[in-house]
Structure 1
Amino acid sequence: MDITTSAVNQLITSKNKINNLLAKQIITLPDIAHLSQAEKNHMSEVLTERLDQLKDEVRDRYLSKIDPILTAGTRHAVWEYNHMVISEAISKFIQKYGVMPKRGAIADETGLSRQTIAKHFNGYAQHPMFDAEMEQFKFMSNSVLSTVFKLANNGDMRAAKLYFEMIGTLNKQQPATVVNEQNNYIQINNTILSQQNLKSLSAEQLDMIEGIIKGEKSKVLGLEA
């Protein structure tokens, strides 16, 4: 038997091993323990190629089949891929229609199942990659702020408003005046105005209160109407 024939036979044997493994409902670590490193590398290529071709629930079942033999790095890569295509699908849909897409629309665009999309949304904030992604956004915040400032400095008023909002100088909520009316008195913040209080006021003071209620600033300020 020459070298070429031996190599071909070895390749056929390796393919048969991999095909037999793929025929299983679940592939475990003991199942691949007897494979050589070259066979494991080849199997990894086959698994990746097949995964790229699958969609929806078929893809989910395939991932469940091979999950026991996936490394942590591979699982992260799958999560990152799902996150990327979901994010892109949402962005495209919003740009086209101006509203958030439903999960069915995301599934149609990405080829992922609705179950996978729901699982990704539900577990997104708890995933280890979430913190890393948030750190990246925080890292880029100064760059974004600088860009907004440049636009504002060139006369873009919308950018100027956004800039001040970002640094926290706009939209500062002032304490609201609380007016409570209960039974026979009115409470304005910490001041209580009851019928008894009103009876003790002078005519001029009553006129001032009436002016405030009616919005007649001339009376309140003591000016001529």
Structure 2
Amino acid sequence: MTNLPATKIEHLLSLEKITATDVEHLNQAERQQLSETATQTLAQLTGAERDNFLNKIDLIIPASTKNDIWEYNHSLINAAVSRYMGQNGVMPDKSSIARETGLSRQTVAKHFAAYQKHPGHTAQMEQFKLMAPNVLAHVFKHALNGDMRAAKLYLQMVGTADKQPAVIAEQNNYIQVNNTILSQENLAQLSAEQLNQIENIIRKNG
């Protein structure tokens, strides 16, 4: 690709705020070069300087790229929190997270304040929900082996611990023990007394 005159790119990046009007005259090759230059510049910045540059190009960043930036920040923050808690046993403050990630404290605070409403968070939670039946099956196996904490958790999850078997209808998977399949339909047809018997069997195994 032929490089544009440096002054053209430099002029755009010297603006306080780059708007769609500022780049509408660029052809595809020029837009690509501006994008590559902006990406390289962003990778070299941290803290407030990174925030300022993102603010400068905010109006010309595609929605997909903004989502990528959010996911990148989220990954950095999650990793920093996990490391800090593993080493110190407490949740780090926002300043500590900022130092660890290279993000500004303002970005970290903004991320914590708004992440639950971000589409990326919703997508991640849907992925976790997809894995819920596997977790339930794992808990059930531990309960059968006499783990009372697992038994209590399992019964709470399927609704029998508080004598509300109707909640079981929400379970959309089955559990297989040897050649016996325990499905949501099986559980839904059991009476409260039968559910109590299952609970007692698990308790006796403990």
TM-score by length of 2: 0.71
Structure 1 counterpart of 2:131: 140
Residue from 88, 106, 111 that aligns with 2:79: 88
The code of the aligned residue for 2:53 comes to Y
- State the 1:157 CA deviation: 4.7
- State the 1:25 CA deviation: 0.9
Alpha-carbon distance between aligned partners in 2 of 1:160 and 1:52, rounded to the nearest angstrom: 49
- State the 1:148 CA deviation: 2.8
The code of the aligned residue for 2:31 comes to K
**Structure 2 stretches lacking a partner, 5+ long:** 164-206
Structure 1 counterpart of 2:29: 38
- State the 1:149 CA deviation: 2.8
What is the aligned-residue identity percentage?
50
Matched, 1:58 2:49: yes
The code of the aligned residue for 1:105 comes to S
Structure 1 counterpart of 2:98: 107
Residue from 84, 88, 91 that aligns with 1:97: 88
Alpha-carbon distance between aligned partners in 2 of 1:53 and 1:127, rounded to the nearest angstrom: 26
Structure 2 counterpart of 1:71: 62
The 8 Å contact of residues 3 and 33 in structure 2, kept in 1 or not, is answered as: no
The DSSP-based 3-state class of the residue aligned with 1:39 is helix
- State the 1:41 CA deviation: 1.1
More helix by share: 2
- State the 1:129 CA deviation: 2.3
- State the 1:16 CA deviation: 2.9
Matched, 1:16 2:11: no
Structure 2 counterpart of 1:123: 114
Alpha-carbon distance between aligned partners in 2 of 1:43 and 1:148, rounded to the nearest angstrom: 52
- State the 1:161 CA deviation: 4.1
Residue from 9, 16, 21 that aligns with 1:25: 16
The DSSP-based 3-state class of the residue aligned with 2:10 is helix
1:147-177 deviations in whole A, cap 9, x for unaligned? 333344445554444433433444x49xxxx
1:129-159 deviations in whole A, cap 9, x for unaligned? 2222221111111122223333444455544
1:92-139 deviations in whole A, cap 9, x for unaligned? 111221111111111111111111111111111222222222211111
**Structure 1 stretches lacking a partner, 5+ long:** 1-6, 174-225
RMSD of Structure 2 on Structure 1 (CA): 2.1
The code of the aligned residue for 1:127 comes to H
Q: Which gives a bigger RCO, structure 1 or 2 (Cα 8 Å, sep 6+)?
A: 2
Q: Quick one: structure 1 residues 94 and 162, their matched pair in 2 at CA, closer, same or farther if it must change by over 3 Å?
A: farther
